[in-house]
Amino acid sequence: MTNPSAWWKKGTIYQIYPRSFQDSNGDGVGDLPGIMQRLDYCRWLGCDAVWLSPIYPSPMADFGYDVSDYTAIDPVFGTMADFDALVSKARRLGLRVLLDLIPNHTSDHHPWFVASRQSRDNPYRDWYVWRDPAPGGGPPNNWQSHFGGAAWEFDAATGQYYLHTYLKEQPDLNWWNPEVRRAIYDVMRFWLDRGVDGFRVDAVAHLIKDAQLRDEPPNPDYQPHQPPYHRQLHVYSMDQPELAEVIAEMRAVVDAYGDRALIGESYLPIERLCRYYGHEGRGLSFPFNFQLIKSPWEAARVRAAVESCEARLSASMWPSWVLGNHDRARVASRIGRAAARAAAVLLLTLRGTPTLYYGDEIGMVDVPIPPEMVQDPCEKNLPGYGVGRDPERTPMQWDAGPSAGFTTGRPWLPVARDYPTCNVAAQRNDPTSMLTLYRRLLELRARHPALHLGEYVPVEQPVEQVMAYVRRSAAEQFLVAINFRPQRCDVLLAGLGLGGRVRVSTHLDRDGERFAGLVRLRGNEAVVVELGENL
């Protein structure tokens, strides 16, 4: 069973995209020494763990998600000594360190694949998914790549195709092969031995494919504006029943090191995500739940997403919530900065582990990338579909100096034009800033068990665009009320039988304000109200 005192239940995770967080040597790309310089900021903000997107050696076809060596550091990010120093400093600050694990595929430069493609009888051949052409010629089946085109690449030297769920430079490992499993588990142990506190497992739903490699059926709901990948229903290339065994094996590796976390990435509906928790704590600590990213900013839709999650998770399953990451548009761009403040209240008061994406705490927005500066292979392969991920990966905005304090050189992606005013230094001592709001919310969440371990109780409201709920433990309870519209509205406290006092509001100007029968909210405002007979 899940440890009720596991650090990740109380904690908050902060995602760092290493290329864009802090550059220490002026080459325009973020690195490990730069991250180490900024760990004090992560601790000051109130986060409990930092998750680093890939830092392994890579040809950078997909910026680190094409790994050529699982047990080393890419020179662009630094050295293993830099990594060890970062982990050591994190420990001193009370921060945990999580790494990205990329087990579905490697780079085509990885020694395993280099050996695999040498001949059909090479010992590493079965480490990847190789198949003969279809009887009439062409790819073995109709599977499509996430990044456009067929998911198969022909190798003329050996006369077979290899599978790649993403770029052709990212051949898929064969997870039916026990040698592959053992090799990846050894990779996990290597980093756990170096002191990491767990992993975010990339593309976890894709590890096991249908053993017969059957064709995918067409998607009857496909829309022309969607990328070609969505033309099919992916019932054979992902989310297979046998995946449960693999995840249980991964969990056993992690559990051997004590209080460690195993987190999975998969864009699946909650009813399918539930299977990834496994049986009796033998699955993921939790899978990322992306419902808040995918849901429109409407009270009814968000409430339905939250309550569906609450209804489906058993007592042994722990929720998680995410507003942004390196693959999706920033929350302030999706819903606007005013609403993004209310979304911060939602994220940091729901039951479950929240994950913050760097820069969201200061209201960073997507940065338009001129065609000649596009880096993302997804955008290059699928222009016109709006799938480019560069806009949400731009450099962290630290101050009003050149390149926002990110680098002394030319940044690998352009910095937002608003960085002179939207930056950490400008907001750090501003009592009404977005950064102050995040810090206040994180402090409140950490200090009160009702907000990090307490139960979630929805509170029905007659106003359509209002969402309200109570978080409570045996000793305390808090009302959270969120106005999703720009007009004022009232939130009724009827039925709660208690008055309350505001602890945090989006506007940061109502501390200590008392309420009895109702709470009046301004447009796009959210409040956290401590409830009690004497408040």
Residues with a catalytic annotation lie at: 202, 265
Amino acid at 456: Y
The alpha carbon dihedral of 401, 402, 404, 408 has a sign of negative
Amino acid at 97: V
Residue 363 · residue 337 · CB < 8 Å = yes
- CA-derived radius of gyration, the chain: 24
Residue 529 · residue 503 · CB < 8 Å = yes
Residue 293 · residue 322 · CB < 8 Å = yes
- Short-list 171, 149, 176, 175, CA closest to 161: 171
User: What's phi and psi for 292, nearest 5 deg?
Assistant: -70, -30
Q: Which residue(s) pair with 456 in the sheet?
A: 471
Residues for the chain: how many in total?
A: 535
Token duo for residue 135 = 């009887």
**Beta carbons within 8 Å of 494's beta carbon, 6+ residues apart:** 517, 518
Q: Can you tell me the distance from the alpha carbon of 260 to that of 246, in angstroms, rounded to the nearest whole number?
A: 17
- Secondary structure of residue 43 in the 3-state scheme: helix
Q: E strand or H helix at 82, and its extent?
A: helix 80-93
- Short-list 300, 357, 319, 290, CA closest to 452: 319
Determine the straight-line distance between the first and last CA of the chain, rounded to whole angstroms.
38
**Beta carbons within 8 Å of 36's beta carbon, 6+ residues apart:** 82, 85, 86, 89
Q: E strand or H helix at 33, and its extent?
A: helix 32-45
Q: Can you tell me the distance from the alpha carbon of 288 to that of 354, in angstroms, rounded to the nearest whole number?
A: 9
Q: Can you tell me the distance from the alpha carbon of 9 to that of 64, in angstroms, rounded to the nearest whole number?
A: 29
Q: DSSP characters for 195-222?
A: T--EEEETTGGGSS--TT-PPPPB-TT-
Percent helix, percent strand, percent coil in the chain, to nearest 5: 30, 15, 50
- Short-list 302, 366, 299, 282, CA closest to 331: 366
Token duo for residue 230 = 């969505």
Residue 252 · residue 228 · CB < 8 Å = no
- Secondary structure of residue 477 in the 3-state scheme: strand
Matching residue, tokens 């729901």? 350
CA 208 to chain CA centroid, Å, is 21
Matching residue, tokens 């409430």? 303
